[in-house]
């Protein structure tokens, strides 16, 4: 698959690279696994003197041997003697960059925590001493959210406050999904587009796997994802087992409950059968896997809270793959596929709401976007988009099939929301329905 989009990210990285010629720059690049961080960094540094260090799980000594070979190969610099300390190697590179500017990419940077935690203090020391006279463009990438957050945002850590730029690589926008699917399958339907969004959420590697395999339709995607040798089957566990460690079973149970629609704390606790306040806090703040969602216009202290997994693939994985893992264990992939198809209409209907909410955010025409629901769940509005500058708002109902949209009932819900919150009073309100034909 060709390289798509990322113009904004590349522009930012190129600007940082120009600044590094004056004095050293440290950019921290984060983003979930498979999002395309490495590909982006290599693309942004193409044609420039660049070292690429991948922090594999091996001893510090063997890592240094790999890195020395990279230095000799890319910069043509001979290093005499054996180097066993990354700190000493980094000191050498900081000194070298004073006369020879270059990019240094360190991928999976959080792995030093397992291999040699003292590396972070060494980098901090040599960075502080040399950064003003150095011309190194240091690019630090990592995919374990909790560790990257700790390394750079915990005030007790040596690298706290050292980053000169932060870049979070996000999934492809909905317009790019359309472009990719159109390039590979010009006659795609809205069902195909929704399936691509549902299963990948815009994550580059997942899209590449589907496109390169010729899986362009809903049926073809399911055939590729749910099969014996599928890389998608173990992906959720592979992604999160390192984040959660020994407590992964508790976290997985909570995420599975949210994925199948148990989105309030009381309902999740009923499934888990234990108090989960601490787990929810960590899932939201330490791991960045869930969001706490409030009804639009509600007060911050409201208890009318819902929890959601914002990652489409993980929502799908926990809803079907993890829930029916016993089928996977006995190789009942055809049966699992039938279960997905049976529930797909309802499941993808909720994802369609997310699609349009994401699309509205990408358009940047509104100052506030959200949904509304009352405590009893009797008055629920899928999407409200508000422009506080010109006092306009759109109140929207979203259905897979446009014939199921009831504008009259939508107006009643909008009036209820207005009376209950004062949020839309004085606004010019447009009531509309969105369905798959509007994608």
Same domain, 151 and 267: no
Q: Give DSSP secondary structure letters for 171-240.
A: PPPHHHHHHHHHHH-TT--HHHHHHHHHHHTT-HHHHHHHHHTT--SHHHHHHHHSSTT-SSTTHHHHHH
Contact 243, 146 (CB under 8 A): yes
Asked whether residue 110 is domain-assigned, the answer is: yes
Please give the average per-residue pLDDT across 65-73, as a whole number.
Answer: 94
Contact 4, 177 (CB under 8 A): no
Asked whether residue 138 is domain-assigned, the answer is: yes
Please give the average per-residue pLDDT across 14-21, as a whole number.
Answer: 96
Range with the poorest average pLDDT among 14-23, 43-52, 73-82 = 73-82
Same domain, 40 and 144: yes
For residue 403, the domain's CATH number is 3.40.1350.10
Same domain, 325 and 418: no
For residue 272, the domain's CATH number is 1.10.10
Residue whose C-alpha is closest to residue 283's, from 255, 317, 313, 315: 255
Q: Helix, strand, coil proportions of the chain in percent (round to 5)? A: 50, 15, 35
Torsions phi, psi for 164 (to 5 deg): -95, -15
Same domain, 266 and 380: no
Residue whose C-alpha is closest to residue 256's, from 212, 309, 205, 200: 309
Give the end of a domain, one of 168, 203, 226.
168
The helix or strand, by DSSP H or E, that contains position 133, with its residue range, turns out to be none
Average pLDDT, the chain: 94
Same domain, 16 and 90: yes
Same domain, 387 and 322: no
> What is the DSSP-derived secondary structure letter of residue 284?
I
Same domain, 318 and 371: no
Residue whose C-alpha is closest to residue 42's, from 67, 74, 72: 74
Please give the average per-residue pLDDT across 120-144, as a whole number.
Answer: 96
Check pLDDT > 90 for residue 1: no
For residue 111, the domain's CATH number is 3.40.50.300
Same domain, 398 and 305: no
pLDDT of residue 73: 93
Q: What percent of the chain has pLDDT over 70?
A: 99
CA distance linking residue 169 with residue 149, whole number of Å: 14
pLDDT category at 27 given cuts 50, 70, 90 is: very high
Please give the average per-residue pLDDT across 233-239, as a whole number.
Answer: 94
pLDDT of residue 206: 97
Contact 189, 218 (CB under 8 A): no
Check pLDDT > 70 for residue 139: yes
Domain count of the fold of the chain: 3
For residue 321, what are the domain limits?
235-330
Asked whether residue 207 is domain-assigned, the answer is: no
Asked whether residue 256 is domain-assigned, the answer is: yes
Same domain, 154 and 18: yes
Same domain, 141 and 53: yes
Range with the poorest average pLDDT among 190-199, 215-224, 419-428 = 419-428
Give the end of a domain, one of 139, 168, 197.
168
Please give the average per-residue pLDDT across 335-349, as a whole number.
Answer: 96
CA distance linking residue 193 with residue 436, whole number of Å: 9
Asked whether residue 371 is domain-assigned, the answer is: yes
Please give the average per-residue pLDDT across 164-192, as a whole number.
Answer: 95
Asked whether residue 390 is domain-assigned, the answer is: yes
Contact 356, 347 (CB under 8 A): no
Check pLDDT > 90 for residue 82: no
pLDDT of residue 242: 81
Range with the poorest average pLDDT among 234-238, 239-243, 322-326 = 239-243
Please give the average per-residue pLDDT across 42-67, as a whole number.
Answer: 95
Asked whether residue 288 is domain-assigned, the answer is: yes
pLDDT category at 223 given cuts 50, 70, 90 is: very high
Same domain, 398 and 281: no
């Amino acid at each position: 698959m060709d390289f798509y989009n990322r113009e904004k990210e590349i522009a930012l990285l190129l600007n940082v690279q120009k600044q590094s010629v004056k004095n050293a720059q440290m950019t921290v690049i984060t983003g979930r696994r498979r999002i395309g961080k490495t590909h982006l960094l290599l693309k942004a540094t193409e044609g420039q003197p660049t070292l690429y260090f991948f922090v594999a799980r091996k001893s510090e000594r063997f890592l240094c041997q790999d890195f020395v070979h990279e230095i000799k190969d890319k910069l043509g610099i001979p290093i005499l003697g054996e180097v066993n300390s990354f700190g000493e190697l980094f000191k050498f590179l900081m000194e070298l960059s004073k006369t020879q500017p270059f990019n240094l990419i360190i991928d999976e940077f959080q792995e030093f925590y397992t291999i040699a935690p003292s590396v972070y203090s060494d980098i901090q020391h040599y960075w502080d001493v040399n950064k003003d006279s150095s011309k190194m463009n240091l690019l630090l990438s990592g995919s374990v959210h909790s560790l990257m957050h700790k390394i750079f945002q915990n005030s007790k850590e040596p690298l706290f406050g050292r980053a000169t730029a932060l870049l979070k690589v996000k999934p492809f926008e909905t317009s790019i999904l359309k472009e990719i699917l159109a390039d590979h399958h010009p006659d795609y339907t809205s069902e195909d587009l929704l399936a691509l969004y549902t299963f990948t959420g815009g994550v580059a590697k997942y899209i590449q796997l589907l496109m390169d395999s010729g899986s362009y339709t809903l049926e073809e995607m399911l055939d590729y994802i749910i099969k014996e040798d599928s890389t998608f089957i173990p992906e959720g566990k592979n992604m999160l087992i390192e984040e959660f460690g020994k407590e992964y079973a508790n976290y997985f149970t909570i995420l599975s409950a949210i994925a199948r629609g148990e989105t309030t704390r009381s309902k999740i606790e009923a499934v888990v059968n234990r108090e989960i306040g601490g787990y929810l806090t960590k899932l939201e703040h330490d791991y960045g896997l869930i969001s706490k969602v409030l009804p639009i216009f509600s007060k911050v202290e409201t208890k009318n809270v819902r929890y959601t997994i914002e990652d489409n693939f993980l929502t799908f994985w926990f809803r079907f793959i993890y829930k029916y893992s016993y089928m996977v264990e006995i190789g009942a992939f055809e049966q699992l596929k039938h279960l997905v198809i049976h529930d797909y209409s309802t499941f993808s209907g909720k994802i369609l709401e997310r699609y349009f909410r994401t699309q509205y955010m990408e358009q940047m025409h509104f100052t506030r976007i959200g949904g509304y629901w009352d405590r009893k769940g009797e008055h629920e509005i899928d999407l409200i988009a508000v422009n506080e500058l010109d006092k306009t708002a759109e109140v929207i109902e979203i259905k897979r099939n446009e014939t199921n949209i009831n504008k009259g009932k939508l107006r009643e819900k909008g009036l209820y929301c207005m009376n209950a919150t004062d949020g839309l009073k004085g606004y010019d309100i447009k009531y509309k329905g969105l369905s798959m034909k509007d994608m």
